[in-house]
Amino acid sequence: MPSSEFAIETQGLTKVFRSRLRRREVRAVDGISLAVERGLSFGFLGPNGAGKTTFVKMLLSASRPTAGSALLFGLPAQSPRARRSIGYLPENHRFPTYFTGAGMLDFYAELAGVDRTTRKRRIPELLERVGLAAWGDVRTGKYSKGMLQRLGLAQALMNNPELLLLDEPSDGVDPMGRIHIREILRELEASGVTIFINSHLLSEVEALCREVAIVHRGRVVLRGAVKDLTAGKGYRLVATGVPEALMEEFRRQSVGIEMNGGRPALLFPGREAANRGIDALRAAGCEIESLAPTSCTLEEVFVRTLSSQS
């Protein structure tokens, strides 16, 4: 695998779907230029129909771009060589039901170029890792959705990938299973694997990814580090013994007030306002119990971003 700073690099990647008579066209992906560094865990977010899956399919060469280019570790995405170091778990996968769990892993690993000795060693290891050690000899037709998802993850890991592309990885998995998958992905990230997650489950992405991009109508509308995007600019102050006159003054200054067990929590929009508020509270003899910067969830960032686009 050639050395490249980026695991994924796209330039103006575009996909236009045209109707048979070419009268109507849908721009599913509209000139996305995105670079994902090696070793990064990256969340690719967007509402339904935003173009996330089409983007991933172009990375895998399952769909041909209308325009633009995609590189995986510096190699053109359409070259089979580029796919040697990739593990992929598609959304709504349909594993043939005639396979046993172990048989399925063996087949897809063989296609991925994993030799027989490695396959023999890796299959029980990975079945154990995803919690399906007892299910290796059972046909996949008997698996629950969550089990299939975990088997799919094991399949994606068979070739020791450097890049893991996961489309809704915890879809249909119970909460304990999700935690388990999250742990596996954290271990992989720690070992330097690049993880690209395409998901609707924002809390999952927030817990797992260091960076995210939000896609809307085929374009990236926001990109950044999760901790920067969710960091608030304001401060939350809890005080006791605040006189009603001062509360009224805060209300006039548009300071947010939440009542928390009879104690007011004051939400200052910025550092200056917080300092002025502290001065006023101290002057009134109030006791300050806590002061902390506010933060928001990725979901709030997501909703705010999409609302501003509509």
Partner 1 sequence: MRVTAALIADTFREAFARKIFWGLFGLSTALILFFLFLMKIDIVEGAAATVSLFGRESPRQWELNRLVRQVQSGIATFLYTWGMFLAVFASSGLIPSVLEAGRIELLLSKPVRRVHILLGRYIGNVLVVGLNISYLVFGVWSILGWKTGLWPKAFLLTIVFTLFIFSVLLAVVVLVGVLFESPALATMITVALMIISPVLAQKNTMERLLSSEWSRDIWRGLYWTLPKVYDVGRMTLDYVFDRTVENYSPLWSSAAFAAVVLAAAVIIFSRRDF
* Closer residue to partner 1 in complex, CB, 81/227: 81
- If the CB atoms of residues 6 and 95 are measured against partner 1, the closer one turns out to be 95
Least Å from the CB of residue 47 to partner 1: 21
Least distance (Å) between residue 140 CB and partner 1: 11
Ranges within 144-183 binding partner 1 (CB under 8 A): 155, 165
- In the complex, what is the shortest distance from the CB of residue 82 to partner 1, in angstroms, rounded to a whole number? 8
**CA pair distance 60, 3, nearest whole angstrom:** 19
Q: How far is the CB of 88 from partner 1 (least distance, A)?
A: 4
Choice from 110, 128, 248, 289 touching partner 1 (CB under 8 A): 110
Looking at the Cβ atoms of 70 and 273, the one nearer to partner 1 is 70
* Span of 39-47, 79-87, 199-207, 284-292 interacting with partner 1 by CB under 8 A: 79-87
196 lines the binding site for partner 1 (CB under 8 A): no
Based on the shown chain and the rule CB under 8 A, indicate whether residue 57 belongs to the binding site for partner 1.
yes
Q: Which is nearer to partner 1, 14 or 155 (CB)?
A: 155
Nearest partner of 151 among 208, 212, 94, judged by Cα: 94
Give yes or no for residue 221 binding partner 1 (CB under 8 A).
no
Residue 276 sits in the site that holds partner 1 (CB under 8 A): no
Query: Which residues of the chain form contacts with partner 1 (CB under 8 A)?
Result: 57, 60-64, 80-84, 86, 88, 90-99, 107-108, 110-113, 155, 165
